[in-house]
Amino acid sequence: MSGHLTRGFSGSTRVGDRRSQLRFQVVGTMPASLLSSEPLRVINLGTCGALVEGPVSLPPNAEYRMQLVLAGQISEVTAKVRRVSVCGRDASALRYEIGLEFLFVSPETEELISRVVSAAEAQV
């Protein structure tokens, strides 16, 4: 199903909405992206996913295109949020552990992850 835009003022539908600019409401689904440069700390990593920690809670089942920086290389991955839990507090802000399932990883990135994981296992 593809989405379309309907024109309207945002203040006309919600009480207390102070936005006076023209807004467009998405009806249906529409592919879009939201760029965020918030770094997430990798807690554990495998070829199928990762557990990361960060200051932002992501909605379960949401899909994101992310940059994975590993061994000095930057790779694009598509990941789905599988679980989110509060793991602590940092300077009065909550911290979250986020379980990610990789939906798309290039073969080169998958090989790099395998090499990094194997090297880490050899050190244990």
**For the chain, percent helix, then strand, then coil, each to nearest 5?**
15, 50, 35
Q: How confident is the model at residue 38 (pLDDT cuts 50, 70, 90)?
A: confident
Q: In Å, how far are 3, 58, 95 from 50, measured between CA atoms? A: 31, 14, 16
Taking 50 as the threshold, does the pLDDT of residue 11 lie above it?
no
Residue 111: the pLDDT is: 93
The residue among 4, 66, 56, 60 whose CA lies nearest residue 31 is 4
Domains and CATH numbers, the chain: 1-32 (no CATH), 33-123 (2.40.10.220)
Residue 61: the pLDDT is: 94
Q: How far apart are CA 97 and CA 93, in angstroms?
A: 14
Residue 63, Cβ neighbours under 10 Å: how many? 12
Q: How confident is the model at residue 102 (pLDDT cuts 50, 70, 90)?
A: very high
